[in-house]
Chain A
Amino acid sequence: MSAVSADPPALRIRGAALSFGDRVLWSGLDLDIAPGELVAVLGPNGSGKTSLLRAILGIQPLDTGAIEVAGMPVHRGRSRVGYVPQQRALPRDLALRARDLVRFGVSGTRFGLPLPSARDRAQVDDLLARVGATRYGGMPVGRLSGGEQQRLRIAQALAGDPRLLLLDEPLLSLDLQHQRGLADLLAAERATGDTGILVVTHDVNPLLGLVDRVLYLAGGGFRVGSPDEVLRSEVLTELYGTPVDVFRSHGRLVVVGAPDAHHHVEEGA
């Protein structure tokens, strides 16, 4: 946690627990994210990563515990959270331009006559520029690459000046070049120091240089700490309750032997 400031943390989780039926996803979960800090959530499928995001969004009620964003209890649609959902390919012929997808973040929740507004338009232009998407702002979104669409989703999430940015597998199915581009974009957002960033990912490697801390969920438990503290054979072995090896090779991490959690309870459905 870099700068000392009087601001409340971007995210504060205290004593959070969530279970589906008999299966405890996590309990006693405490986590603070400071403005300008980037935390990666790791863990096997079914460990409750997406449910955690949904809880922070105020969509998934907790069993116990409390979550605050920028000092306020979370409430769906009212918290200062920007959200980038897990990517799904948009239909090629979708009647939506790149800037329209961003505009949803600016005025999408507003009821009332949809009159064109110069202020909204300027805001969309700013957001497009901020993620480097100005060039293709007028293109149909369905014709853009996965990396370009992801930039637009981040621009949409940044609308409304969030204190916390949540990203669900933002690098999924992107090629190496686009992964780097997006990591650079996240680095730039982190550098502004205004926003805490929480990234759910199954592969921490593309973000390794960027991650301040890791939240590792597995086997109903969790560990929080720097990547060097958490991503170690002893720690993960204890967490999974079964031998797990973490190898480092050329600056990359490889986790071997981690079993996937059971799938019979569908997450978040």
Chain B
Amino acid sequence: MDGLLDLFSFDDYGALLWLVRNSILAGAVLGLVGGLVGVMVMQRDLAFAVHGISELSFAGAAAALLIGADVVTGSIVGSVLAALVIGAFGARARDRNSIVGVLMPAGLGLGILFLALYPGRSANKFSLLTGQIIAIDDPGVLRLVIVSLVVLVALLLVWRPLTFLSLDPESAVARGVPARALSIGFLLLLGLITAVSVQIVGALLVLALLVTPAAAALRVATSPLVVALLASAFGLVSAVGGILLAIAGSLPISPFITTISFLIYLVCRVVGGVRGTVVRKEVLA
């Protein structure tokens, strides 16, 4: 027990907070936008694709590290390429899953190869897989915030047709919603936000910010507005809460973020289960 408590130290916490204020801001924006993107990920059944994109993003970042290029740019290039490939060949869910299944190990393998060839510090290597936002300098953090905000605005602009297309595709197509352009467009946004998430939680844990908060929100709400607000709030609480806890100790951020978002999901499942039973009883009555 003592050992566990030793992991945290709240001396000089205020000073530490000031030091990492930009990371907290980035975490907050990513959590918020990630939660919102997650709603679409769930509605379009893309959770597996997120995982595939994040591994390609990791490969891109590792390649950038190796050739001395900018890591965030490399990460974005990797995930956008993955999003385009999935968009081009994976219109149907079954094709998409097999393409992601093929891309994922290929990307992870390439990434590991690039890291093995990279002569620099090993801490950098590890952080791409498991994330460490504190390691990013301030201009880098600013860029993550800007990319997240671009994704946010673009997503809001296509929100209504994209929801229509995702939940009622036949009617949406008949009414002229541009299905293919929207599908590929959303995958691009997903690629961008995945690249940002990779910097913060790492390639392996991206789903904790892009799937779990939305999955939790969908358990407890059916109104689209409430789902969107809850998913954003859950994402924000997970990301910021994780950073705040992590800087008090010596452990990495990611496990805190994943644990918080997982706990939120558990609570929502229980709440949703109880409420579902109540609704059923009301319907029967």
Beta-carbon contact of A57 and B174 below 8 Å: yes
Q: Within 8 Å of chain A (Cβ to Cβ): is B279?
A: yes
Task: Determine the distance from Cα of A114 to Cα of B225 in the docked complex, in whole angstroms.
Answer: 10
Q: How far is the CB of A77 from chain B (nearest CB, A)?
A: 1
B279: chain A residues within 8 A (beta carbon) = 140, 143
| CB-defined contacts of B218 to chain A, threshold 8 Å | 93, 95
* Residues of chain A lying within 8 A (CB to CB) of residue B175: 77, 83, 105, 108-109
B254 vs chain A, min Cβ distance (A): 28
Task: Decide if B160 touches A108 in the complex (CB within 8 Å).
Answer: yes
B174 touches A109 (CB 8 A): no
Tell me what chain A mostly uses at the interface: helix, strand, loop, or mixed: loop
Interface centre among B159, B171, B221, B227 (most CB of A within 10 A): B171
Please, which residues of chain A bring their CB within 8 A of the CB of B158? 111
Which of A30-38, A96-104, A123-131 contacts its partner? Answer: A96-104
Cβ of A109 and Cβ of B156 under 8 Å apart? no
Q: Is B167 an interface residue (CB 8 A)?
A: yes
Q: Which residues of A contact B245 (CB under 8 A)?
A: none
Chain B residues positioned under 8 Å from A105 (CB to CB):
171, 175
Contact B221 A95 (CB under 8 A): yes
| B111 → chain A closest CB, angstroms | 35
Query: Which listed residue, B157, B167, B174, B283, touches A112 by the CB 8 Å rule?
Result: B157
Does any Cβ of A come within 8 Å of B11's Cβ?
no
In the complex, chain B residues 215-259 whose Cβ is within 8 Å of any chain A Cβ: 218, 221-225, 227
Q: How many chain-A residues does the 8 Å CB contact rule pick out?
A: 31
Q: Which residue of B lies closest to A108 (CB)?
A: B164
Closest to A115 in B: B156
Q: Are A110 and B177 in contact (CB under 8 A)?
A: no
The reply to whether B160 and A76 contact each other, CB–CB distance below 8 Å, is: no
Report which of B160, B174, B222, B283 forms a contact with A95, defined as CB distance below 8 A. Answer: B222
- Whether A108 contacts B161 by the Cβ 8 Å rule is yes
Q: How far is the CB of B225 from chain A (nearest CB, A)?
A: 8
Residues in B neighbouring A153, C-beta threshold 8 A? 171
A88 to chain B, nearest CB (A): 9
Contact between B176 and A109 (Cβ–Cβ < 8 Å)?
Answer: yes
Q: Is the CB of B171 within 8 A of A156?
A: yes
Docked complex Cα distance between A96 and B177 (Å): 19
A97 in contact with B171 given A110-B161, A111-B160, A143-B279 (CB within 8 Å): no
Whether, in the assembled complex, B173 has its beta carbon less than 8 Å from a beta carbon of chain A, the answer is yes
Which residues from 46 to 95 on chain A have a C-beta closer than 8 Å to any C-beta of chain B? Answer: 57, 59, 76-78, 81, 83, 85, 93-95
Q: What's the least CB distance linking B11 to chain A, in Å?
A: 45
Does B6 belong to the interface (CB within 8 Å)?
Answer: no
B156 and A113 contact, CB distance less than 8 A: yes
Question: How close is B277's CB to chain A, nearest CB, in angstroms?
Answer: 13
Q: Quick one: given A109-B161, A113-B156, are A95 and B227 in contact (CB under 8 Å)?
A: yes
- Within 8 Å CB of B174, what residues of A? 57, 59, 76-77, 81, 83, 85
B170 in the interface (beta carbon within 8 A): yes
Interface flag for B137 (CB, 8 Å): no
Report the Cα distance A110→B161, complex, angstroms. Answer: 6
Taken together as a complex, chains A and B put the C-alpha atoms of A153 and B159 apart, in Å, by 21
Considering only residues 161-183 of chain B, those with a C-beta below 8 Å from chain A are 161, 163-164, 167-168, 170-177
How far is it, in angstroms, between the C-alpha of A143 and the C-alpha of B161 when the chains are bound? Answer: 24
**CB proximity of B10 to chain A, nearest CB, Å:** 39
With A77-B177, A94-B167 already in contact, the answer to whether A108 and B221 are too (CB < 8 A) is: no
For A77, the chain B residues whose CB sits under 8 A away are 174-177
B176 touches A78 (CB 8 A): yes
Q: A107-B160, A111-B158, A113-B156 are in contact. Are A97 and B223 (CB under 8 A)?
A: yes
Q: How far is the CB of B238 from chain A (nearest CB, A)?
A: 20
Shortest B260–chain A CB gap in Å is 22
Which residues does chain B contribute within 8 Å of A108, judged by CB atoms? 160-161, 163-164, 168, 171-172, 175, 177
Q: Which B residue's beta carbon lies closest to that of A92?
A: B276
User: A255 → chain B, closest Cβ, in Å?
Assistant: 28
Q: In this complex, which of A81, A95, A140 has the most chain B Cβ atoms within 10 angstroms of its Cβ?
A: A95
Decide if A85 touches B157 in the complex (CB within 8 Å). no
Residues of A within 8 A of B (CB): 57, 59, 76-78, 81, 83, 85, 93-97, 100-101, 104-105, 107-114, 116, 140, 143, 153, 156-157
Q: List 25 A-B contacts (CB under 8 A).
A: A57-B174, A77-B176, A85-B174, A93-B276, A94-B167, A95-B227, A100-B224, A101-B167, A101-B168, A104-B164, A104-B167, A105-B171, A105-B175, A107-B160, A108-B161, A108-B175, A108-B177, A109-B175, A110-B161, A111-B157, A111-B158, A111-B160, A111-B161, A113-B157, A116-B225
> Contacts A76-B174, A83-B171 given; 5 further ones with Cβ under 8 A?
A85-B174, A104-B168, A104-B171, A105-B175, A110-B161
The 7 A-B residue pairs with the shortest CB-CB distance, nearest first, are A77-B176, A108-B164, A85-B170, A83-B174, A114-B159, A140-B222, A104-B164
